[in-house]
Amino acid sequence: MKKFIKLLTLILIAFTLISGCFYYLQGGLWLKSLTSFGFVATGLANLIYALKEKACDRFVIFTFCGLFFSFLGDIVINLSFIPGALIFALGHVFYFAAFCSREGFSKRDFVYVAAMLVISLAILLLYPGFNFDTLILCVCVFYSIIISFMAGKAISGYFASRSAVNLILAIGAILFFSSDAALVLYMFGNAGKAADTVCLFTYFPAQCILAYGMHKYLAKKL
């Protein structure tokens, strides 16, 4: 079973990344949804494996919820930005909870959270090309706070304990943070195709890496 779940995880990740390339070339909500379903399926396969092996814990459950709400946000944000952003923010809350389940939030974490928040707010407030209305700006600031906690906690976790799992989670979180920054620049900052490209080629790898972190955690545990 352990070899099977590892092979299935790698196949689903490969599918997600390949499908993401097709989405970049062709577009379309159905193809984006199919691509996002790939990383949710990766998480679901590992969740079922954890349940079967009686190894399901808060990290596994919260990580899967993060993957699921990211998938849901992918769909909704194409229809309406604010509801989609709020669903994505909920996904970040679950990722943050997953990271905290491995090691509780500490004073040290605030340093990394603050650093990520300074970066995200600097992008929002100092980039000259942005054209926000008040509501969108408030949503983006709120979202910046949430994602800064998620990314900051992941980075702090790695420097506290330099394990393979923590490294994987930190890389996934940094890529997710980068993807969201590029998305805002693309949607509201007139940054053009380059920002859209950065967004897509960091977002799907980020989710795949976070899903793989879940698998790696289970592999080490079992």
- Tell me the CATH number at 168: 1.20.1070
Q: Full-prediction pTM beyond 0.85?
A: yes
| pLDDT, one tens digit for every residue, the chain (222 residues) | 888 999 999 999 999 999 999 999 998 999 999 999 999 999 999 999 999 999 999 999 999 999 999 999 999 999 999 999 999 999 999 999 999 999 988 889 999 999 999 999 999 988 888 888 889 999 999 999 999 999 999 999 999 999 999 999 999 999 999 999 999 999 998 888 899 999 999 999 999 999 999 999 999 988
Q: In the structure encoding, which two tokens stand for residue 65, read together?
A: 């919820």
Contact 169, 157 (CB under 8 A): yes
Q: How many domains does the chain have?
A: 1
CB-based contact 95:66 (threshold 8 Å): yes
The boundaries of the domain holding residue 48 are 2-221
Q: How many CB atoms lie under 10 A from the CB of residue 100?
A: 18
How many whole angstroms separate alpha carbon 109 and alpha carbon 97?
13
